[in-house]
Chains A and B, each alone.
Chain A
């Protein structure tokens, strides 16, 4: 019956989670609990789920501020109508704070509660006015006055005043403790939040903190005893909570939008949607298949029947509509995830995988046993093109019909320590040290049982929390050490603020704002709802993920260029068995491609030797932390190369694991293994899938593993097999990868490799125009292009366009987008003015384009003015462009003089890196090597050397990686003018040279050559040092991912 509880989703106003409040309420014997979070329903979904679990009712409400005449006003929902009205009011207050909440909004179905905290130090007259305002707007019977007893002086006087007010205006009184935390010890965090909110330390906060620790959740009996002199207040509270309990979030009324008739604009009925979907699918199949096979026919009928039974036809049509819109705008898109298991998705163009041909299981995507909605994630080219699709959704369901799902940002170890040490008065330098220490090695908190670090990182890399704090500069004997530790533990994982999900969108036909309050997102023209994706899923709200993929943007550009140049490419029709593409993959020549360009992928490809499409799907799946943890990569590769015999853990697994040589690599395989070995039903397998996708939820995982063990015991499965099955699941819980997803990604990876082989100029051009993306910098891409016979020409105001362009199959021309600091309008003006007539001179260029002084210098220093008639070299351009042309018709041009000397090659290189982050000239290492006498190894010469040969090599660091799974070892990719050399730095050496490795761009490395599997040379580093390159190039590298 507590009606005024606030959770930590009130952001710095409540200290306990909705779940713990509900659990405690159930323990104390409450039949209901109203959560009235500050300005939203942020915690309601979680409270609702917890209330269902603990068998009580969760009442929804909110505490509003900024209402005229009130400091805070609490409003409860009595019915669905009330919920919808309050949700709309909250949306309006967030999106249009200037509105008049009372006069412009319907408030029926809601109940206002005037509390002692509703007004700041109110007089009798102010209270009377406030109560009359509420009566007028909410109506008699929909307003109550709350009395608090927190054992504070002056409280009784205020209660008497409120009692008199209630009697005078015939408003009922209710008893409440208005808890801000579930149990007494949480007061510490409540005080800490007060300090964070008020930007004070605990020492300075004074009376802003609570006078005592009485604002915890109290039992109905205690509340009853507290208000023995106001018995009616207790009974009124009970009655009101019963009244409000009539509505719960189960009755939210959310309905996924129906598809509209494209001709009439009317919403389709369910039947019409089914028919329309059948029509769309039929058309799609006609387009895809000349003759539909029997298997395809059976599959499509089965899928359509399931979709119709489950009532999801509208959902598929809406996703189809999105994809159709994107394609109509020339936007490349492709579904990922389990949608690739569906032939319907393939037929309507959402995915590009034929599941029948790939042998994918439709049930993994959709089955009659599953109660949840299908999950379709669609990749779009990142950037403006994805945004245009998102804006299309916003406009289609406007106003307030669509929003992004929220992402709850929580306190993590570093932020928790920083904030808590700050309010305890410790200097910032201590938090800085803690942050440094946390970076590596990882910090483990022994009091938490989560999978955290110890499962994942080697034990010597994990530090105890207390010792880390001590190392940060707070000795254990410090009187504030213990409070810091306590606060740290309490705040960890508490919500900090709401972010925006990367691509999850929710939409609704008749206004999403009546389902959940919306609020403006940080990005312009976007709104975000107050629940995250899990909350939405729990409440049956359907989310469609519109994700951004840089590679799609690059490929889309490349395809457009191909089309412009007269040799168009249809990705759907490129041969999947192109030997040249597989050759490229086998020699790990994959810089710039999708998924297979990382150092780890490049190291595995020569061993894997992919020769068919499915090999690529396996390749995409195996280089992931999960399988490595599960010790499953090497068995696969060993079996593939014949060094290890193929075995299937259990004979029953053979049909499931045959394609992956007995090694469970895909989530589908793990689910089917559970079904076979433990007799899991489809529903149970789905629960296992969900548990695996909740990466950090040990609770769900433990429950399902327990069940799995019991079932396996019942079936007398040997302990050894049981353990291997559980290990497989454990590693997938960390980083599971569905087969369909791997195939979808492999499609893009294959297409990118095919483009690199057959359309290299267009491929590199697309990549350069869509940076930043991928592992490598533009400079590395330009160098790689050079090695593949595609050279890049420098910027020129005579030739360059805004973006990089393909001149011919072997030549690119860099675009003005590469020049940092050149304004967008200047870039466009250069191209536009040039289209009117070529620049006849520097003066002509300066007069027509009107670049500002900074831009004149930029263009001149980058060599972009060199092609103008009177400019001899970059410095000449700098001297000439520094002076604006005179507008004197009769002035004679001054005689040409060579005042400044031309740049040396190293100066040009330095300038190129500073202004463009890349150079079209020689590689820095070529210039460096010219001055060297010693014969050093190069990335090319490594291939001719024997295993174990000691060597010295130098180069530019383009990638540093130290994944948690590498047991402290570090991998470096070193680029020189010939290619890329791979370095392996053992843990001990890494620690010895840590600063050099992490801070230097050019390295001189000593080590010995190791020829690894696949005949790939790797240098085992024994020592290294900074390379004596005099100038510091502003290079970028891809680090520690």
Chain B
């Protein structure tokens, strides 16, 4: 047998069960997204099958049949992590393999020296035990037969596979599955028994290919998978180091290696992931996003250097792990377009230094928020590419420039209540005092009544010396000098 297939059945469900340590006897199902009452099962485990539950069943109906059914929502993060683990596992088995589906890998065994197929399967199953995920292994003379063999739970003949089950699980491409079921075909063996010519005349070349697969007459090439780990490197320090000089020295060498690999695949680094492991068991991870994809080791090293300059290790560094996230390199015609920033990475480096001083949450672009509340500002963190974030366009309500007092000055104001509002008469305290010659207002404002409600009334007042001020009254009796009109 030249090919093997590894099938992690119902991986999105089994990885959740593995995470929670649920026993295999616990019936469980994965739900479709949307309203719970209209949701249906998209995957179930073996224990759930015993209750006549099948994928596609409505959740309410499934619960009627098995009240103890554990219902789980898909978790893309857990799924991604499980997928990475299975990928790493397969990568440790063979150099050449195909990532056929998210649950199935097709392995080329031709380069391996295998004494016994049974031993290889036993070894593979035992070495996968750390994943805690149910695994089915199949061998076959062709990739597709190996794939089908992996879908048989007990390593049966792949032709015994039920067509209805294959159609439901969508783990193997099965064209015209509805027609085949309408024809009463139960298994692939039934399909294999049909006349090839008759099939071709009725359902076309797709079914002919499937027919050939069942007879082992179709042999396709694998689409070999190349791991992203190619751009990942680890270095262990013996003994652990206590300052970052040797670290930078090693990092420079490693970055050169990684950048050469990237260059080889016509890629550039978009992000740099750094992980430091300390001898006290702690670890430090940081993702450094580059403003512009780069292949220059110096640029990458500078980012790393800046970060390490501002970082204090809690213990000697034992292991150093570096990964580059590849992307397409930036291309632009020389000198055709002028750029706002000559060297975005240099600017990002400066920014990172600032961030280390003031704290990342205190650095960004201020902008006025879309609110009626005056002087309501928010900080937008700087995008890696220094693009201006979309901010609401707020027209000033008056043509006069206003020198805003930040923070506003608390003052005492003589006022009288007319109707619903307090009208200011004279400023008693504060930098500008005296009777008010003319007042315009009130301009009541309020909002956020659904949470953190606020309300105030603004006044524009003129003092005796023609000084124009903006006052704000906040109930119950708080007056503020919020600005001076120039």
Contacts and interface: CB of A to CB of B under 8 A. Distances in A.
A999 B60 contact: yes
B65 A1026 contact: yes
A140 to B, nearest CB: 35
A225 B63 CA distance: 67
Interface in B442-471: 442-447, 449-452, 458
A436 B37 contact: yes
Contact of B445 (A212, A882, A899): A212
B111 interface: no
B36 interface: yes
Contacts of A207: 370-372, 392, 394
A1007 B362 CA distance: 71
B443 A900 contact: no
Interface string A1022-1036: 000010101000000
A882 B182 CA distance: 12
Interface string A116-157: 000000000000000000000000000000000001111010
A443 to B, nearest CB: 17
Nearest to A861: B182
A918 B389 CA distance: 61
Contact of A907 (B52, B67, B184, B198): B184
A209 B179 CA distance: 57
B130 interface: no
A1030 to B, nearest CB: 8
B369 interface: yes
Contacts of A213: 446
Contacts of A435: 37
Measured as residues with beta carbon below 8 angstroms from the partner, the interface class of chain B is 35 or more
B444 A212 contact: yes
Contacts of A995: 60-61, 63-64, 67
Interface in B334-385: 369-372
A211 B445 contact: yes
A878 B445 contact: no
B443 A151 contact: yes
B443 A152 contact: yes
Contacts of A152: 443
Contacts of B202: 879, 882-883
A48 B395 CA distance: 42
Contacts of B195: 897, 899
Nearest to A212: B444
Given A899-B195, A998-B60, A153 B397 contact: yes
B36 A436 contact: yes
Nearest to B442: A151
Contact of B371 (A206, A483, A878): A206
Contact of A878 (B183, B194, B369, B398): B183
B201 interface: yes
A212 B201 contact: no
B400 to A, nearest CB: 11
Contacts of B444: 151, 212, 214
Measured as residues with beta carbon below 8 angstroms from the partner, the interface class of chain A is 35 or more
A1024 to B, nearest CB: 10
B154 interface: no
Interface string A208-222: 010111100000001
A395 interface: no
B269 interface: no
A262 interface: no
A479 interface: yes
B451 A901 contact: no
B404 to A, nearest CB: 15
A689 interface: no
A857 B449 contact: no
A476 to B, nearest CB: 15
Interface in B218-255: none
B183 A879 contact: yes
Given A151-B442, A151-B443, A432-B35, A206 B392 contact: yes
Contacts of B428: none
A429 interface: yes
A672 B65 CA distance: 56
Nearest to A479: B451
Greatest chain A CB density within 10 A among B35, B398, B440, B452 is at B35
Interface in A995-1012: 995-996, 998-1000
B201 to A, nearest CB: 5
A187 B447 CA distance: 10
Contacts of B203: 882
A878 B183 CA distance: 7
A898 to B, nearest CB: 12
Interface in A554-604: none
A875 B183 contact: yes
A1026 B65 CA distance: 7
Nearest to B52: A1028
A202 interface: yes
A838 interface: no
Contacts of A897: 195, 198
B192 to A, nearest CB: 13
A153 B37 contact: no
B184 A153 contact: no
A903 interface: yes
Contact of A882 (B179, B372, B450): B179
Contacts of A206: 369-371, 392
B63 A153 contact: no
B58 interface: yes
B194 to A, nearest CB: 6
Greatest chain A CB density within 10 A among B60, B394, B447, B458 is at B447
Interface in B60-99: 60-61, 63-65, 67
Contact of A999 (B36, B64, B447): B64
Nearest to A483: B450
A849 B446 CA distance: 71
A883 B199 CA distance: 10
Contacts of B449: 187-188, 191, 483
Contacts of A15: none
A212 B65 contact: no
A39 interface: no
A480 interface: yes
Interface string A424-455: 10001100110110000000000000000000
Contacts of A222: 419
A293 B369 CA distance: 86
A903 B184 CA distance: 7
Contacts of A883: 198, 201-202
Interface in A172-199: 187-188, 191
B64 A899 contact: no
A942 to B, nearest CB: 25
Contacts of A1030: 52
Nearest to A423: B450
Greatest chain B CB density within 10 A among A212, A857, A883 is at A212
Interface string B251-270: 00000000000000000000
Contact of A202 (B182, B397, B446, B450): B450
Contacts of B440: 156
Interface string A809-844: 000000000000000000000000000000000000
A188 B447 CA distance: 10
Contacts of B198: 879, 883, 897, 899
Question: Which are the 6 A-B pairs with shortest beta-carbon distances?
Answer: A206-B370, A995-B64, A153-B397, A999-B61, A882-B202, A483-B450
6 contacts: A191-B449, A212-B444, A857-B179, A879-B183, A900-B185, A995-B64
Given A206-B369, A428-B35, A479-B452, 12 more contacts: A151-B442, A211-B372, A211-B445, A213-B446, A480-B450, A483-B450, A878-B182, A879-B202, A899-B194, A999-B58, A1026-B52, A1030-B52
Interface of A: 151-154, 156, 187-188, 191, 202, 206-207, 209, 211-214, 222, 225, 424, 428-429, 432-433, 435-436, 479-480, 483, 857, 861, 875, 878-879, 882-883, 897, 899-901, 903, 907, 995-996, 998-1000, 1026, 1028, 1030
